[in-house]
Amino acid sequence: MARGYFRILVFACTLMVGVQFPAMMDQYRKRVDAHFREISINLSGFQQTADRYFDGSLQALISHYKKSPDPVFARDAQSVEQLYRRCQMLSAQQAAMSGPWYRAGFHLLFFHNDEILAETFDQYSYTVPLSPRAIAWGLGAAFFVSLLLELIVLGVFRGFWLAVKPRRSGSLCI
């Protein structure tokens, strides 16, 4: 009886966690978009300079700054390069999160940006969305975890049962 209640409890908890995943994806996507807009604004002045003097190549501008005998430009080259790399990273994150929901979910689980994910968790607002996607994620997670737990429990008990079960003497089968 307790085993049945435990199954229901695991299923319900996993369902609630699974329902949160689409909301987490949405909040992560919005945070990536906000960071991308901010970095684009920060790079816009440098991009205008690159457009005017280097055919739009920020890499050429950064290279020019690095080669400059002026120590201020050489030091600024590092800052501009950091902004440029962050912009590229955010652009890749944005592209991955704007794909189909299953690819965005896979990306969030395995290829997320740790800093942005930590920010998302810190500012996460729990919701109980009743959209078909959220219900599908919740039910899928609940069924998967319940099945996995059931297989583990059955494997443990079956292994225990085989170890404890006495063998018949005189049997030719080993």
List pLDDT tens digits, range 83-115: 999 999 999 999 999 999 899 999 999 999 999
Which comes out higher in pLDDT, residue 110 or 166?
110
As given in the structure block, the two tokens for residue 72 are: 């201020």
Which comes out higher in pLDDT, residue 161 or 104?
104
Which comes out higher in pLDDT, residue 168 or 85?
85
Instruction: Give the per-residue pLDDT at 164.
Output: 58
Q: Which of 19-28, 56-65, 90-99, 163-172 has the lowest mean pLDDT?
A: 163-172
Q: What is the DSSP string of 76-132?
A: HHHHHHHHHHHHHHHHHHHHHHTS-HHHHHHHHHHS--HHHHHHHHHT-------SH
166 has pLDDT over 70: no
As given in the structure block, the two tokens for residue 123 are: 């500012």
Domain ranges within the chain, ordered by starting residue = 2-164
63 has pLDDT over 70: yes
- Which residue is associated with the tokens 């404890």? 164
Phi-psi category of residue 170: left, alpha or beta, with phi > 0 → left and psi -120 to 50 → alpha: left
Instruction: Give the per-residue pLDDT at 160.
Output: 61
Instruction: Give the per-residue pLDDT at 81.
Output: 96
57 has pLDDT over 90: yes
* For the chain, percent of residues with pLDDT exceeding 70: 90
